[in-house]
Amino acid sequence: MPTIDETIFVRFQNESKNRILHPVKITETAGSDNLTVKPEDPELPLEAELEFLLYFEKQRKFMQQPARVEALLEGEQGVVAVLKTVGEPVSAESRQCYRVSTVLSKLTATFGGVDDCSLRDVSVTGFSVLAKKQYKNGQVIDAELRFEGKKYIGKTSIQSVTPMEDGLVRYGVNCVKAAASPTALDKGVQKISMATQRQQLNRLSGGA
């Protein structure tokens, strides 16, 4: 089992298609199957009896294990969740398939010509973004990502549409394949995805 102060990841069952990994920090452990975690995103929708998968590093391998929320408690630094793991961890090495949460990175995108749309998560093939304009599944939308001083431009195909609060809509998109270019959108999502995964996985091994 991971130890106190380590960062691990949560993936909700209703996000199984996108495989979004949400970072949480371990604040306490008890025995071999109980741990308390604090979400890095305070808006993470944890609730009692919720079941999901945990992801963590073990002996240099990326692992997954089912878990359930036993209770929510008010801690010194906010709400924490008491978890109980189920069964034994198994390998989850296909990292390229996962979307990684970018909420705390405060990255933005230009989506459908609208600047400063919040980038919520990213994978090596696509991303999700919050926008006010109304689109439909299957629509092809122009997008631009900015990362480490560079711009990446291309077209995206909308895969999911989820209404949110304040009139916003969360769009899950895949990059439309285009000619290879240093500024191609698919090149940008790959760079952001791998950089974010490296940053978050470094925490698992005690790095920066």
Residue 95 pLDDT grade (very low, low, confident, very high; cuts 50, 70, 90): low
The predicted-structure confidence for 22-34, as pLDDT tens digits, reads as follows 999 999 999 889 9
Domain segments of the chain as ranges: 7-93, 99-199
- Name the residue with tokens 């900015």: 146
The predicted-structure confidence for 132-158, as pLDDT tens digits, reads as follows 999 988 888 999 999 999 999 999 989
Classified by CATH at the fold level, domain 99-199 comes out as Thrombin, subunit H (2.40.10)
Task: Give the pLDDT confidence score for residue 123 in this predicted structure.
Answer: 87
Please report the beta strands in 86-149, taking only residues with DSSP state E, as ranges in sequence order: 90-91, 99-101, 108-111, 114-122, 126-131, 140-147
Token pair listed for 46: 């944890």
Classified by CATH at the fold level, domain 7-93 comes out as Pnp Oxidase; Chain A (2.30.110)
Task: Give the pLDDT confidence score for residue 135 in this predicted structure.
Answer: 94
